[in-house]
Every structure is written in structure tokens, then in C-alpha cells.
Copies of this chain bind each other. A is one copy, B any other.
Amino acid sequence: MHTPFSGGVKISSILIVLNLKTYLEGTGENSVRIAQACKDVADDSGIDIAVAPQFCDIYRVASQVDIPVYSQHLDSVGAGSFTGHAFSRCIKDAGAVGTLINHSERRLTLAEIDASVQAAKKSGLATIVCTNNVPTSAAAAALSPDYVAVEPPELIGSGIPVSKADPAVVTGSVEAILKVNPAVKVLCGAGISKGEDLAAALELGSVGVLLASGIVKAASPKAALEDLVSKI
């Protein structure tokens, strides 16, 4: 669906995922505006930027903006009697290409994470499993998602980038994941908002970042995104 215009090997392998959470600045029509800003900066920079709106906004974002859309969560349930659950087929039908799983604000049991990764794969959705430290990153890698996004919960929304506050959690996760399952790529989350944070995250061995408030709540999300990709 989304192809970066730049064919550079390094740039094309970078992934930025913008989580809109339940911020008003990313709810309803606002989700479309932010997604458009992501697309503009992705087109200009050649770097993949995906957006993760709320469930109810997936369809409108995906049908109005040509950008990779991720769900913020997915339940492992199949078709059937599962009122109020986030079913992989429905998420895919709404236009998503992937999903976050086990975000620190929506934790799942180990068995559910495994089943969610399988359900997403079966529906053709890319998977990003969120973790909180090196051992859980290694554990998540054993479940073979596409990405593991390591985010020390105490840094989420703090404005202090994990790449500065705790670089060892990123390098440790990269190493541990490489040992358990080298096919799994690492994203770096928590406190990321500036170009130097993204550059540092890549230096530490991750292939990109998962971020939220630093961009969504910025005076100009587009300007913030332009700064984010400016150091690559």
C-alpha cells in the first residue's frame, strides 16, 4: 500500500509508528488530519510512517489517507460470540495493515499475546508486540511477531527518551532478540519525539520508533514529524 519514494536501503527499512491513543487531538476528524501530516512527511522524507488511530477511526483514516494504518490492539478471538472484542478480520476489513499487541496501557496474558500474533498473521496483519524490559523482549521474540517495541513504562509520556535514559534496555533487547529469533526487528519507544531521539534509537540497533504524545500533542504535528526525520 505504502511505498517510500526513496529506494535507499537504510531509509526504506526504518519504521515510525505514531500511536494516537485516545488523545482528542487524534480522535475523529483529527485522526485524519494527523494521518495526512504523517503521509506528507513520509512522502517528503522517504521514511515509512504508520499511524495507529482508535478502533472507530481506522476505517475513516484508511479510506481517506494513503498511509499504513495500525490498530492499537487486537483480541485473539475468532468469528463468533465475542461482544466488544477487536477481531482481526474486522480490523483488516476496515483497512488496517498491522496492529500493536500488548501495549503497556493494554496488557495481555502471555497466551493471549501468542494467540493474537497468530490471529493477526492469519488475517494478514503485521504485528508489533510491546514489551517493558530485556527479558520480556526476548520472550516476545519467541512468539515470532514482525516487531518488538521495547518501552520502559516509566518513560512513556515522560518526554525523556529511552535512548538517553536507559540505552541498555534497547541494546540489551536487540541482543537478546537476535539470539532468540533473528527475524524479529526492534522498535524503540517511550519518550521519543525529536530527530536526535530517532537517530539515537537507530544507533542502538533498533529499526525505528513507536511514539505518541510528543507528536500528537505538538503545536504542529507536521513540524514535529519533520524534526523527527531530520537527522536521518
> Which residues on A are within 8 Å of B, measured CB to CB?
19, 21-24, 27-29, 54-60, 71-73, 77-87, 89-91, 93-94, 96, 100, 102-114, 131-133, 135-136, 138-144, 156-157, 176, 179-180, 212-213
- On whether the beta carbons of A81 and B135 are closer than 8 Å, the reply is no
Q: Which of B54, B106, B113, B131 contacts A87 (CB under 8 A)?
A: B54
- On whether the beta carbons of B83 and A100 are closer than 8 Å, the reply is yes
| Distance between Cα atoms of A207 and B78 in the complex (Å) | 32
- On whether the beta carbons of B79 and A72 are closer than 8 Å, the reply is no
Known A56-B59, A139-B143; further 14 A-B contacts with Cβ < 8 A: A22-B78, A22-B85, A28-B94, A54-B85, A54-B86, A55-B56, A72-B83, A81-B213, A84-B103, A102-B110, A110-B113, A110-B131, A111-B131, A179-B180
* Oligomeric state, in copies: 4
| Chain B residues within 8 Å of A90, by CB | 22, 27-28, 54-57
Of A83, A131, A136, most B-chain CB atoms within 10 Å? A83
**Would you give the shortest CB distance from A107 to chain B, in whole angstroms?**
4
**Would you give the shortest CB distance from A2 to chain B, in whole angstroms?**
20
**Would you give the shortest CB distance from A43 to chain B, in whole angstroms?**
25
**Would you give the shortest CB distance from A69 to chain B, in whole angstroms?**
11
| Distance between Cα atoms of A108 and B112 in the complex (Å) | 10
Given contacts A22-B77, A132-B111, A142-B135, are A85 and B106 in contact (CB under 8 A)?
Answer: yes
| Chain B residues within 8 Å of A85, by CB | 22, 54, 105-106
- On whether the beta carbons of A22 and B82 are closer than 8 Å, the reply is yes
- On whether the beta carbons of B105 and A27 are closer than 8 Å, the reply is no
Of A19, A24, A56, A112, most B-chain CB atoms within 10 Å? A56
| Distance between Cα atoms of A212 and B80 in the complex (Å) | 10
The 4 closest A-B pairs by CB, nearest first: A73-B84, A28-B93, A84-B106, A55-B55
Closest to A72 in B: B84
